[in-house]
Structure 1
């Protein structure tokens, strides 16, 4: 099957499943790529934690921050989230470098916001610009992602937040829910996040020591229900970061093959199905990304 026919077929599968997405797979050795709406912009959700961690590591490298410095994390300041310090009940002192691990490997929202307190969103955005990584906006801390209508509803009513998220967007990607409005929230496209992955995995303006640590943290990612089942094997290593917000499900990362193959993958999606749990959508995201990678690899 040729590239155009494959992409058309995959696009139809996504649409039949109620998904709209921005997909890009790039061979980091040759530069060849396949894409489905790669420049379509989405709110980035937790994907923003990767540039946050990279910017904080750069400040540690230059001596602006002490990575061993303990920071007090107070439960009363916790951000809504299912993992890490967001579930702590007691104050804890955690070193800055350990907060980096929690923010990426566990997608710990409170750890990420503690880091944003040290390296604010505008500083992260400025560093992305200095590194030549375009198309990723960083406008706010993670706390704002936790203040949606979904948090004000009982568990049995969560589908109502999904319905509102699905039915209220504008053609220009605006939305009455601020976190879903790409003109107000942190955002990016599949192309932008693949560009970031390329800057982390191949020589770029990002310092090699910083890039190496970010790669290591992404390799340690424990949230592996989305793309990982299609990219992890005994002959490959999958390093990534996920992002989830209401009807949005994202992941970007890099698969390194034992034969030397190196592919950056980004899959950013929004669902038209008003359900909180959608394992089928996550499996389809992975199959689409895998099919695109397989086509490039051939």
Structure 2
């Protein structure tokens, strides 16, 4: 039995909003954590913001930042081209992951593919240059807590293939049913102690520092903000926030029953609100559009309360 979370907020309205989001998620078959922060005022709201979740493709944000930081310091050349071959590519539904022929791609274009279409093969080509351990060490050196990058994207798929080869239904059943109260799991890449994981508070903290150039160097943080604005997947946070007066720069993560998104919402009135919504579905189904919409509703509700 799951114990109730401690919803919090800077005001009574914020606390009520956090509770309403949590109830909405539960009614949609989701458990999760939420943190939203007005970067300029410090006002916030959320629940279970310090509970770690497996980050899936949200981990591509800190990877990209460290790559851009190394490039800004002259240790990597973004124009350098890497050869990616189909027989060694990391699986995935987009980008180079589905290419049938060898291709050469520049580092900066790999960054674009990694963030815009969540290309796993592109991300793992970057992980070849900047290993997960280096990403984590760099985050720690910057004082960015709550995020631990432990493996490339390929590890996610290898773990599933080992226990449920060619059986996506079984993999989903395992994802939903085999989670312990402490975040452990029969699948190592869904175990927060063994997988790349992070908290909603940790991810929002990193984004807030990126948006204020308080981490790395401005050349790197500015380019990351730009790249995050190219994300093609828009059915979560953007679904409820899309308008000419709002810009959302974010990154989704999806793996088995996990649906996550973290990003910054900017409004025409100069609000900058960082939001991280990390969820795990209790329903063993691959297609759950209502879960995506629930994340969008959460982002919209949080922004409505936190904007000036």
Task: Please tell me the TM-score bracket, short chain as reference.
Answer: over 0.9
What is the CA–CA distance in structure 1 between the aligned matches of 2:297 and 2:226, rounded to whole Å?
25
Q: How far apart in 2 are the matches of 1:68 and 1:167?
A: 45
Q: What residue ranges of structure 1 are gaps of 5+ in the alignment?
A: none
User: 2:61 aligns to what?
Assistant: 50
Per the normalisation by structure 1, the TM-score is 0.96
Superposition map of 1:172-191 within 5 A? 172-191=182-201
Shift of 1:10: 2.2
For the Cα contact (< 8 Å) 1:72–1:92, is it kept in 2?
Answer: yes
**Structure 1 position 158, deviation (Å):** 2.3
CA contact (8 A) 1:102 1:108 kept: yes
Gaps of 5+ in 2: 1-11
Q: Partner of 2:96 in structure 1?
A: 85
CA distance in 1, matches of 2:20, 2:114: 36
Which residue is equivalent to 1:99? 110
Q: Is 1:70 matched with 2:44?
A: no
Shift of 1:193: 0.7
Counterpart CA distance in 1 for 2:89 and 2:240 is 34
Structure 1 runs of 4+ off > 4 angstroms?
150-154
Distance in 2, matches of 1:251 and 1:150, equals 25
For residues 146 and 160 of structure 1, what CA distance do their matches in structure 2 show? 14
Aligned residues: 296
Q: Where do 1:4-43 residues align within 5 Å?
A: 4-43=15-54
For residues 160 and 143 of structure 2, the distance between their equivalents in structure 1, rounded to whole angstroms, comes to: 36
1:167 aligns with 2:174: no
CA distance in 2, matches of 1:266, 1:127: 21
Distance 1:232 1:194 in 2: 21
For the 8 Å contact 2:215–2:221, the answer to whether it is kept is: no
CA distance in 2, matches of 1:137, 1:76: 29
- 1:91-130 matches, cutoff 5 A: 91-130=102-141
Match of 1:270 in 2: 280
1:232 and 2:236 matched: no
Q: What whole-Å deviation, never above 9, does each CA across 1:14-73 have from its counterpart, x for those lacking one?
A: 112211111111001101001021111100000111111111111111111111111110
Query: Deviation string for 1:115-169 (max 9, x for gaps)?
Result: 0000011111111112221110011111101224369554xx5232111111111
1:216 CA drift (Å):
0.5
- 1:93, 1:150 → 2: CA distance? 28
Deviation string 1:52-99 (CA, Å, 9 cap, x unpaired) is 111111111111111111111011111110100001111111111111
* Residues 53 and 192 in structure 2, CA contact (< 8 A), matched pair in contact too: yes
CA RMSD of aligned residues (A): 1.4
Q: In structure 1, which of residues 279, 284, 295 is the aligned counterpart of residue 289 of structure 2? A: 279
Query: How big is the shift at 1:170?
Result: 1.2
Distance 1:258 1:13 in 2: 28
How far off its partner does 1:231 sit? 2.3
Q: How far apart, CA to CA, are the structure 2 residues paired with 1:150 and 1:289?
A: 34
- Which secondary structure state, in structure 2, belongs to the residue aligned with residue 250 of structure 1? strand
**1:136-215 paired onto structure 2 within 5 Å:** 136-149=147-160, 152-154=164-166, 157-215=167-225
Give TM-score scaled by structure 2 length: 0.93
